[in-house]
């Protein structure tokens, strides 16, 4: 049975998150970073100092050996304070750390996991291409083995935080003539390797998380750049999707809860027709529906975290948590904008930023339609 009581150790962790965020990245700093399109990279070493980045990892690499329930709680609390903090945490732990722990060689684990856990190593997953989004296996970027190592040719697009990454995890074809998910490998490519070009992409939201168009023109990396087994790269990526979906769900839940509270507080202060608008039933019902939706999403997240922690199958629950939480985040920010009206629409409002950012969660790392397809498949349809 799932126990919803938060252990004392986790309560202490959450308190440390609250103190860190208040000190290192208060709301006014987040607003300034969003306006300047700057990423608060200084948060990663602070997370490392608190042990947050090492939560699910073995002690031999500097980890804390906590299970995914602790990871989900911390991720949600970070998102409550600042969505970008949750993004930095989740991509580091899921895309970087859990990928290394799941399929990297022991030498690669010993080399990279301690630095990652300390907040000193940054990785970006270079998967998406102009013709390979939801159909990720349609990628065409390829690498051929030579006497010098691997030579990579191709292009990736919408790769988050790539310019500031120390390494790109490049998903590419290494078997000539292969199609679909076969013949794909992962290569660990240092960011400043000759032949890599990067162009920033303008976008509506997530201004603290830059996205990049990346070209690979005969990029040479050594033979030992291979991450995991040759030809098994697509399976490797799929094997860790439940971690990234849990991260997306936690981020959505944390920010959605913050949006509900912003709208509630505004409604209690805003007066129309001689009384606070929170006294009007129409507003009360909006806020009630918003909170119910967040609670439903949180239950899906906690169920997924429990399944991961107890090493149970969770393909359906991973897709479900990502779907419900991301659509809830979009719903509550839309309703929050309606409640706050012009005050929410003003650029100094946190609500408008979350409203802009929420859209990405329903298609980033797998669209809502793809999640529904996965759920239907798990239902035997």
* Per-chain mean pLDDT for the chain: 95
What CATH number does the domain containing 117 carry?
Answer: 1.10.540.10
On whether residue 342 sits in a domain, the answer given is yes
Q: What is the DSSP letter of 280?
A: S
What CATH number does the domain containing 267 carry?
Answer: 1.20.140.10
Tell me which of 5, 129, 365, 369 is the catalytic residue: 365
How much of the chain exceeds pLDDT 70, in percent? Answer: 100
Biggest CA–CA distance in the chain, Å, is 80
> Pairing relation of β-strands 167-173 and 123-126?
parallel
What is d(CA 13, CA 50) in angstroms, rounded to the nearest whole number?
8
Residue 124 pLDDT class (50, 70, 90 cuts): very high
205/277 same-domain check: no
pLDDT digits (tens, 9 = 90+) for 17-57: 999 999 999 999 999 999 999 999 999 999 999 999 999 99
Q: Which of 93, 121, 149 is the last residue of a domain?
A: 121
pLDDT digits (tens, 9 = 90+) for 186-236: 999 999 999 999 999 999 999 999 999 999 999 999 999 999 999 999 999
What is d(CA 33, CA 35) in angstroms, rounded to the nearest whole number?
5
72/165 same-domain check: no
What is d(CA 236, CA 244) in angstroms, rounded to the nearest whole number?
13
372/247 same-domain check: yes
302/372 same-domain check: yes
3-state secondary structure of 71: helix
244/354 same-domain check: yes
On whether residue 146 sits in a domain, the answer given is yes
Q: Spell out the long-range contacts of 14-20 with Cβ–Cβ below 8 A and sequence spacing 24 or more.
A: 14/73, 14/74, 14/77, 16/50, 17/50, 17/52, 17/74, 17/77, 17/78, 17/81, 18/77, 18/81, 20/46, 20/47, 20/50
Q: What percentage of the chain's residues is helix, strand, coil (to nearest 5)?
A: 55, 15, 30
Residue 1 pLDDT class (50, 70, 90 cuts): low
Position 130 pLDDT exceeds 70: yes
How much of the chain exceeds pLDDT 90, in percent? Answer: 92
Q: What is the DSSP letter of 96?
A: I
369/259 same-domain check: yes
pLDDT score for 9: 94
- Identify which of 380, 363, 376, 313 has the alpha carbon closest to the alpha carbon of residue 128: 363
Q: Which of 71, 87, 121 is the last residue of a domain?
A: 121
Q: Which of 231, 263, 293 is the last residue of a domain?
A: 231
pLDDT score for 4: 85
208/331 same-domain check: no
115/189 same-domain check: no
Q: What is the DSSP letter of 277?
A: G
- Give the structural domain span for 338: 240-378
pLDDT digits (tens, 9 = 90+) for 170-186: 999 999 889 888 999 99
pLDDT score for 365: 83
On whether residue 54 sits in a domain, the answer given is yes
Q: What angle do CA 301, 34, 287 make, to 5 degrees?
A: 45
Number of domain units in the chain: 3
What CATH number does the domain containing 136 carry?
Answer: 2.40.110.10
24-38, 125-139, 333-347: lowest mean pLDDT where? Answer: 125-139
CA distances from 349 to 255, 281, 283, 353, 356 (A): 14, 25, 19, 7, 11
141/82 same-domain check: no
86/182 same-domain check: no
> Is 49 an active-site residue?
no
145/265 same-domain check: no
pLDDT score for 12: 96
């Amino acid at each position: 049975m799932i126990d919803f009581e938060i252990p004392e150790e986790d309560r202490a962790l959450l308190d440390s998150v609250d103190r860190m965020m208040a000190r290192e990245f208060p709301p006014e700093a987040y607003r300034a970073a969003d306006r300047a399109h700057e990423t608060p990279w200084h948060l990663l070493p602070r997370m490392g100092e608190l042990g947050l980045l090492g939560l699910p990892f073995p002690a031999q690499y500097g980890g804390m050996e906590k299970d995914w329930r602790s990871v989900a709680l911390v991720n949600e609390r970070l998102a409550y304070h600042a969505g970008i903090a949750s993004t930095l945490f989740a991509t580091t732990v899921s895309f970087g750390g859990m990928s290394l722990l799941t399929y990297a060689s022991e030498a690669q684990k010993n080399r990279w996991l301690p630095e990652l856990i300390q907040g000193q190593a940054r990785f970006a997953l270079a998967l998406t291409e102009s013709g390979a989004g939801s159909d990720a296996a349609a990628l065409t970027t390829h690498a051929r083995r030579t006497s010098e190592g691997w030579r990579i040719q191709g292009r990736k697009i919408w790769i988050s935080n790539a310019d500031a990454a120390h390494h790109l995890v490049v998903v590419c074809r290494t078997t000539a003539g292969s199609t679909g998910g076969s013949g794909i490998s992962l290569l660990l490519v240092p960011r400043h390797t000759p032949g890599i070009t990067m162009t920033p992409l303008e976008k509506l939201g997530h201004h603290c998380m830059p996205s990049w168009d990346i070209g690979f023109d005969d990029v040479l990396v050594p033979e030992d750049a291979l991450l995991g087994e040759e030809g098994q790269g697509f399976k490797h990526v799929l094997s860790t999707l439940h971690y990234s979906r849990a991260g997306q769900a936690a981020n959505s839940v944390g920010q959605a809860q913050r949006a509900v509270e912003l709208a509630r507080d505004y409604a209690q202060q805003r007066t129309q027709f001689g009384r606070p608008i929170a006294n009007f039933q129409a507003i009360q019902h909006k806020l009630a529906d918003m909170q119910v939706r967040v609670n439903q999403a949180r239950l899906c997240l906690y169920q997924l975290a429990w399944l991961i922690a107890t090493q149970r199958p969770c393909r359906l629950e991973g897709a479900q948590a990502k779907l419900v939480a991301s659509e809830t985040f979009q719903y509550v920010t839309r309703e929050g904008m309606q409640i706050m009206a012009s005050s929410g629409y003003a650029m100094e409002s946190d609500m408008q930023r979350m409203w802009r950012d929420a859209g990405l969660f329903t298609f980033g790392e797998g669209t809502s339609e793809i999640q529904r397809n996965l759920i239907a498949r798990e239902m035997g349809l």
